[in-house]
């Protein structure tokens, strides 16, 4: 796929295939094309050349089976966590019906299950405006889950959060994707978080794919390829698996097997 905006080549002949259920992190400096890639995958942008396919279906317009989580979680402040989550069923209900919470029991149950998945069941009746940024982003994830997607896209979902909340949100995203066998594609700026939670990594530079591989290949040379020669001291945690313990998620067996052990700072 290639995407041009006038003279700017935002994506330059980028191609890859993701098997169902993989958790992919997209990395790259500002302007490398991460958002454009995700927006094309959700048909919010149209590729100039090439196409996105889900199975054999070209993605030509936004679809219910592809949910998107944004940096600004776009949840409604005045509503409770539960009501916000329930709006994820809008595709199955009318807007007014949704606001009046006229959804059927299965939608309501799904909203509660989704809040449970992101660790917010006890806060279901809490007004969103009283929640922290991290909690609000988790409500955003719950809402995306209620949409009942098979593919979850997230464009810098933790960009505005502190490090602790970022880890939590990434942990819940990872858990939700694993529990529901969702294919997830998430753009991140934080290499350490990518390393802790990612299963597969795609690196973009000037719109070109400069890396696409799994944990055992994702080393400091790859970081250099993606970001140039930056100071990477302490960038990778000593034990990637410990990240999810406290945050409600865990890396799955496959990625744990692929994970190389030990610190990788150079």
The one among 35, 42, 80, 135 contacting ligand ATP by CB under 6 A: 35
Q: Is 10 among the residues that bind ligand ATP (CB under 6 A)?
A: yes
196 touches ligand ATP (CB under 6 A):
no
Q: How far is the CB of 227 from ligand ATP (least distance, A)?
A: 12
| Terminal-to-terminal C-alpha distance of the chain | 34
Lay out the site mask for ligand ATP across 96-115 (x = CB under 6 A, - = otherwise): --------------------
Is residue 28 close enough to count as binding ligand ATP by CB under 6 A?
A: yes
- DSSP sequence for 202-254: EEEETTEEEEEEEGGG--HHHHHHHH-S---TT-S-S-GGGGGGGGT----HH
Q: Which residue has the tokens 């994707």?
A: 177
| Nearer Cβ to ligand ATP (124/185) | 185
- Establish if 33 lies at the interface with ligand ATP (CB under 6 A): yes
Out of 1, 22, 24, 34, point to the residue binding ligand ATP (CB under 6 A): 34
Q: Quick check: 167 and 250 in contact, CB under 8 A?
A: no
Q: Of 12 and 219, which CB lies nearer to ligand ATP in the complex structure? A: 12
**CB 2 → ligand ATP: shortest distance, Å?**
12
Alpha helices in the chain, H assignment, sequence order? 34-41, 81-86, 95-99, 105-117, 133-146, 163-179, 191-197, 220-227, 253-258
Q: How far apart are CA 40 and CA 35, in angstroms?
A: 8
How far, in Å, CA of 251 to CA of 242, rounded?
9
Hey, is 104 helix, strand or coil?
Answer: coil
Contact 33, 109 (CB under 8 A): no
The distance of closest approach from Cβ of residue 223 to ligand ATP in the complex, given in angstroms and rounded to an integer, is: 16
* Residue 251 in contact with ligand ATP, rule: CB under 6 A: no
Q: Which stretch binds ligand ATP (CB under 6 A): 25-33, 57-65, 86-94, 125-133?
A: 25-33
Is 15 an interacting residue with respect to ligand ATP (CB under 6 A)? no
Determine contact, residues 107/143, Cβ cutoff 8 Å.
no
Contact segment (CB under 6 A) with ligand ATP among 17-25, 27-35, 89-97, 165-173 equals 27-35
Question: Which residue number, 51 or 57, has a Cβ lying nearer to ligand ATP?
Answer: 51
Q: Which residues bind ligand ATP (CB under 6 A)?
A: 5, 8, 10, 28, 30-36
């Amino acid at each position: 796929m290639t995407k041009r905006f006038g003279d700017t080549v935002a994506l330059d002949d980028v191609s890859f295939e993701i098997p169902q259920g993989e958790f992919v992190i997209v990395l790259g400096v500002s302007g490398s094309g991460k958002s454009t890639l995700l927006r094309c995958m959700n048909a919010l942008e149209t590729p100039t050349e090439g196409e996105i396919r889900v199975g054999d279906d070209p993605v030509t317009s936004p679809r219910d089976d592809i949910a998107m989580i944004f940096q600004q979680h776009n949840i409604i402040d005045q509503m409770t966590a539960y009501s916000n989550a329930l709006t994820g069923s809008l595709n199955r209900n009318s807007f007014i019906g949704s606001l009046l919470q006229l959804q059927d029991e299965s939608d309501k149950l799904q909203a509660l299950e989704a809040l449970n998945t992101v660790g917010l069941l006890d806060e279901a009746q809490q007004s969103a405006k009283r929640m922290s940024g991290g909690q609000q982003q988790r409500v955003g994830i719950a809402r995306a889950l209620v949409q009942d997607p098979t593919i979850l896209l997230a464009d810098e979902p933790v960009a505005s959060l502190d490090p602790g909340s970022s880890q939590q949100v990434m942990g819940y995203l990872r858990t939700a994707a694993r529990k529901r066998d969702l294919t997830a594609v998430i753009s991140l700026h934080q290499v350490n978080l990518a390393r802790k939670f990612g299963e597969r990594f795609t690196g973009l530079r000037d719109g070109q794919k400069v890396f696409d591989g799994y944990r055992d290949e994702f080393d400091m040379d790859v970081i250099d390829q993606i970001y140039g020669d930056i100071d990477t001291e302490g960038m990778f945690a000593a034990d990637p698996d410990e990240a999810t313990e406290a945050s409600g998620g865990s890396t799955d067996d496959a990625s744990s097997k692929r994970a190389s052990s030990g610190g990788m700072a150079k």
